[in-house]
Amino acid sequence: MLNRKIAHYKKIMAQAPDYETWKEAALELDYLLGHVDWKEAFVSDLYNFDLIYDRLQQLRESHQKRQHIDLVRSLREGLHHDLGNMGNPALYQVAHVGTKHLIEEYVNQVCESLNYVCDTPMDCLPERKKLEFFKDTLISFGRPALLLSGGASLGMFHIGVVKALWERGLLPQVITGSSVGSIIAAMIGTRTDAELPELLMPERHNLKAWRWRGVWSAISGQGLMDQQELERCLRTNIGEYSFEEAFKRSGRSINVTVSPVHLHQKERLLSGYTSPYMLVWSASLASCAVPGIFPPVMLMKKDGKGSITPYMSRLRWVDGSVTSDLPIERLMHLYDVNYSIVSQTNPHIVPFLNRQERKKKTSMLALPSRIMKAEVQFHGKAAFDYLRKHVEPELLRQLAGHAYTIMAQRYSGDVNIAPRYTFKHYASMLSNPTPEFVKEMILQGERATWPKIAMIRTHSKISTTLERCISRLKSQIENRRAELRVIA
């Protein structure tokens, strides 16, 4: 009887049309498997429960007694990412929903206290000092980033990941994309919060990005696909915004990776920091220029009069996945990112990533296969490195470079969300997705994200609260200035 119930709830979870249905079944499953008792028990050797309990009690006392100075000092000095190892992945592999209640209570208390400090007038913390406090605390604490990989039409999966995070209030402010991931990132980063739900409606978008040109076109260096068709698709879906304009509109920091064609250039992360006047659609077009599929791209920007002009007209750029599918280190420097949420849809990566997620080999029996894999990777990189520097014609040189960087890159983050592919998915990669296919991939993206929500919330909720507090305080200060100008 118990086994039938377990199988019943697992089937509901696998076929759930929405998060509420999935969560209800997952909670029932946790009850049947005894996970509820595990969550309620503070004690565990997986994290420093004493430290977290003491911090929770300290914050509660200061908050409840309105001891403002103590509360502010406690938040400023005591907030540290992954305090007491509460982000340990093992803490999120026991129950299907949530983790230790102590961890959840601590995160909720921190966020409640931060919102209280933000919204409550305090003599000890004037408005401008309060804004400095939140900015400094965010720099110290760090923030998460969402990284969307390449994957051609299979990248529609990313929309489901975005939807699942958005509905739980966990969508990071920093979003990066390469290839098709750059399209999704650009669409998110050029929409206001009120417009974002429109992104989740495939019938509202131009889905015609692919048009075959033929093999001879690819051999001549013009690509198998018509780049003008892709450009029309991008400009329709993204608009004519520069990175600077996109940030002002959405408040999100979008980043697009592009790879160089020339030997004496390095990969770039295009963003409001590094390329404020560049057109977002142009960056995405370059990031989608898979060697052999599309030709290299000259980037475009807006000049001081708003006219579209070339950016470094001598240079051409290609697919961001070629050299920097997941630019985690660069994000760490630009945005103080300390936690990476990766939605990985690259068809040559997903099968291996899923295998690693299912079974992490730790025994000595796995040592020979690890050595063999390392040897193949080492010699393969050396061979393709030679070919990308010396082979002719240009198409073969680009393909060799692509193979080299595939073997040299890191394709995973702190949390990895990936689809399950069948032959049907691979067959649909280089064709215009139907609304039905997009809906299927969105739902698959949601279902793959739901089990990761608890771990993402532990790492992300505090920094997201800090960002929202900063946004509210900036608006308050701007409104105050506007009122003073009217009075004057």
Instruction: Kindly report, residue by residue over 283-328, the tens digit of the pLDDT.
Output: 999 999 988 888 999 999 999 898 999 998 889 998 877 666 688 8
Buried b (16+ CB within 10 A) or exposed e, 417-454: bbbebeeebeebbeeebeeebbbbbbbbbbbbbbbbbb
pLDDT greater than 80 at residue 338: yes
Residue 374 burial (10 A CB sphere; 0-12, 13-18, 19+): exposed
Q: Is 185:176 a contact under the CB 8 Å cutoff?
A: yes
Unique residue bearing structure tokens 């509109």 = 249
30 in catalytic set: no
Choosing from 30, 319, 325, 414, which is the catalytic residue? Answer: 319
Our measurement of the distance from residue 215's CA atom to the centroid of its chain's CA atoms, rounded to an integer in Å, reads 35
Which one, of 442, 197, 463, 194, lies nearest residue 341 by Cα? Answer: 463
Could you give the count of Cα atoms lying within 13 Å of 114 in the half-sphere of its Cβ? Answer: 29
Of these residues, 179, 282, 428, 460, which one is catalytic? Answer: 179
Specify the pLDDT at position 49. Answer: 96
Using DSSP bridges, classify how beta strands 317-318 and 337-343 pair: parallel, antiparallel or unpaired.
unpaired
pLDDT digits (tens, 9 = 90+) for 14-70: 999 999 999 999 999 999 999 999 999 999 999 999 999 999 999 999 999 999 999
DSSP state of 363: S
Q: Would you say 95 and 67 are in contact if contact means Cβ atoms under 8 Å apart?
A: no
Q: Is the pLDDT at 396 greater than 70, yes or no?
A: no
pLDDT digits (tens, 9 = 90+) for 64-116: 999 999 999 999 988 888 899 999 999 999 999 999 999 999 999 999 999 99
Higher pLDDT, 313 or 396: 313
Average pLDDT of the segment spanning 354-382: 50
Cβ proximity of 146 and 174 under 8 Å: yes
Beta strand 415-417 pairing with 300-302: unpaired
pLDDT at 274 over 50: yes
Question: DSSP code of 411?
Answer: -
Tell me the HSE value of 339 on the side-chain side, using a 13 A CA sphere.
25
pLDDT tens, position by position, 174-211: 999 999 999 999 999 999 989 988 877 777 788 888 88
Give 230-264 as a 3 state SS string.
HHHHHHHHHCCCEHHHHHHHHCCEEEEEEEECCCC
Residue 363, pLDDT > 60, answer no
241-265 pLDDT tens trace: 999 999 999 999 999 999 888 767 7
Catalytic status, residue 119: no
Q: Is 45 buried (19+), middle (13-18) or exposed (0-12) by CB count in 10 A?
A: exposed
At residue 326's C-alpha, the angle toward residues 303 and 449, to 5°, is 115
Contact between residue 177 and residue 325 where contact means Cβ atoms under 8 Å apart: no
Q: Which residue has the higher pLDDT, 447 or 221?
A: 447
Beta-strand ranges (E) seen in 44-119 are none
User: What does the pLDDT average to over 210-219?
Assistant: 75
State how far the Cα of 472 lies from the Cα of 292, in Å rounded to an integer. Answer: 47
- Find the mean pLDDT for residues 348-376: 56
Please count the other Cβ atoms lying within 10 Å of the Cβ belonging to residue 59: 21
* Tens of pLDDT, residues 426-438: 888 888 988 889 9
